[in-house]
Amino acid sequence: MTKPGDRVKIITSEQELEGVLMPEEKEFIVLKMDTGYNIGIDKKRVKEIALISHPPERETELPKTQPKTGLPKISILHTGGTIASKVDYTTGGVVAQFEPEKLIEMFPELRNIANIESRLVRNIMSENIRFAHYNIIAHEIKKEIENGSEGIIITHGTDTIHYTAAALSFMLKDLGVPVILVGAQRSSDRGSSDAALNLLSAALFITASKNFAEVAVCMHETKEDTTCLILPGTKCRKMHSSRRDAFKAINTEPWARVDFKAKKVDYLKTGFNERKAGVPEIREFKENLEVGIIKTYPNMFADIFQSYKKYDGLIIEGTGLGHIPIMEIDELTKEHTSIYNSVKELIANDVIVTLTTQCIYGEIDMNVYSPGRKLLDAGVLGNYCDMTTETAFIKLAWLLSNYPKHEVKKLYSVNLVGEISKRLEK
């Protein structure tokens, strides 16, 4: 008699398949192959299910980890389960492993890098994160620093990890230790998972870099399991939906390259904040603040802009150097005058309106063409800024949370935490 979790051979009229038996569906038998992928086999095709072996008995409780003398203390705070989870083949579900003992069981190399404190803050898919979660994470970071941690790793879903990295960069004033966010593009039970290298590289970087005290993201540099990059928290972006090297530095260089196998860290640029004693001051987000993003596209209408009239702020992701369709050039473009008037009306109603570019690289320059100059005259902010739309959104929301609007207008185009480049790099 076989049951989920058993290793089996399934014999059909066409082939023989070997793998781990998963809970069956209504019409299919589900088998997890050694590649990590599941396949469904029509029950009508199955001639025989032969047992190969039962799963080994699992230890119900692992011995508590004992601190090692001479190793620094690193705290791992979990906000999402993918990077610290594995498949339970009895149920077919993903089981989160947040306790230090279970985490070290999954990633045993950690025990030789640092003394690990690990706990769950939230278990949430990253698209569900709100400003209130940023405040929670920031306070948990402060708590760990107060308890003696020399560095913090935040495990996080990759889809919005760059938003959170930017948010923490603005929130944590006088941060004296490194805060490194890590994610995984492939789940930990797959042979192609990037989870281990990302997490271990972040831990190695914290222990090997004695001066670095910034918020950063650590992810694969290439598709291979070779090196990871330490990316600036306000100047990185997810550039691919599934590749392991999805994250890139934008308009700047990464802080460093980590070669975990060689136990080597190479700095690629300097200018980072250095470590110091003390705990950071937290400047929170207002949880009910309303900031929107509009992407510019052909055949726009004014009513989409008017729908933001009750918002606190609005990011317009314009084309190229920073344009939106506001020029009436013939009988077919009369709507563009209405769009321009709607933008002016938003600004008159005290909505902070800023402009970014749909281009991934480069900066806004509203002085080159007439549409840009008209937007400048109307009071649209962002000229000469090279912030990504995601970082611009976070910065505007954070400024509106901490300053009166007349100060927000002054500070938006000022480089505060490395979000605006002095010069653009490759």
**Residue 159 annotated in active site:** yes
For the record, the structure tokens of 266 come out as 């190479």
In 4-122, DSSP assigns E strands to 7-12, 16-21, 28-32, 38-42, 46-53, 73-78, 85-88, 93-96, 115-120
The residue count of the chain comes to: 426
Residue 93: the pLDDT is 54
Of the listed 65, 158, 160, 227, which one is catalytic? 158
- Shortest CA distance to 389 belongs to which of 162, 137, 68? 162
- As averages over each run of 10 residues, the pLDDT of the chain (426 residues) reads 86 90 81 80 90 74 74 92 58 58 79 91 89 98 97 94 98 97 76 83 95 97 95 97 94 97 96 95 97 98 97 97 96 98 98 97 95 96 97 98 98 97 74
Q: What is the pTM for the complete model shown? A: 0.85
- Ramachandran angles phi, psi of 325, nearest 5°: -75, 90
Ramachandran category for residue 238: left, alpha or beta (phi over 0 → left; psi -120 to 50 → alpha): beta
Residue 58: the pLDDT is 57
Residue 347: the pLDDT is 98
Q: Are residues 317 and 292 in contact, defined by beta-carbon separation less than 8 angstroms? A: no
- Given strand 215-220, what is the order of strands in its sheet? 115-120, 73-78, 151-155, 179-182, 215-220, 228-232, 256-259, 264-267
**Residue 158 annotated in active site:** yes
Of the listed 32, 65, 79, 82, which one is catalytic? 82
For the record, the structure tokens of 380 come out as 């649209």
Of the listed 159, 189, 225, 365, which one is catalytic? 159
Q: Are residues 384 and 363 in contact, defined by beta-carbon separation less than 8 angstroms? A: yes
- Shortest CA distance to 89 belongs to which of 16, 21, 19? 21
Distances in Å between the Cα of 73 and the Cα atoms of 76, 107, 120, 157, 170 are: 10, 16, 17, 24, 25
Of the listed 142, 238, 248, 374, which one is catalytic? 238
Distances in Å between the Cα of 215 and the Cα atoms of 55, 119, 122, 403 are: 42, 19, 19, 22
* Domains of the chain (ranges, CATH numbers): 7-53 (2.30.30.520), 73-282 (3.40.50.1170), 291-411 (3.40.50.40)
| Residue 232: how many other CB atoms lie within 10 Å | 28
The dihedral built from the CA positions of residue 164, 165, 168 and 169, taken in this order, carries a sign that is negative
C-alpha to C-alpha distance for 375 and 381, rounded to whole angstroms: 8
For the record, the structure tokens of 216 come out as 């950063």
Residue 396: the pLDDT is 98
- Amino acid letter at 22? M
Q: Are residues 205 and 114 in contact, defined by beta-carbon separation less than 8 angstroms? A: no
Residue 338: the pLDDT is 98
Please report how many Cα atoms fall inside a 13 Å half-sphere around the Cα of residue 368, on the Cβ side: 9
Which residue in this structure is represented by tokens 């004992």? 66
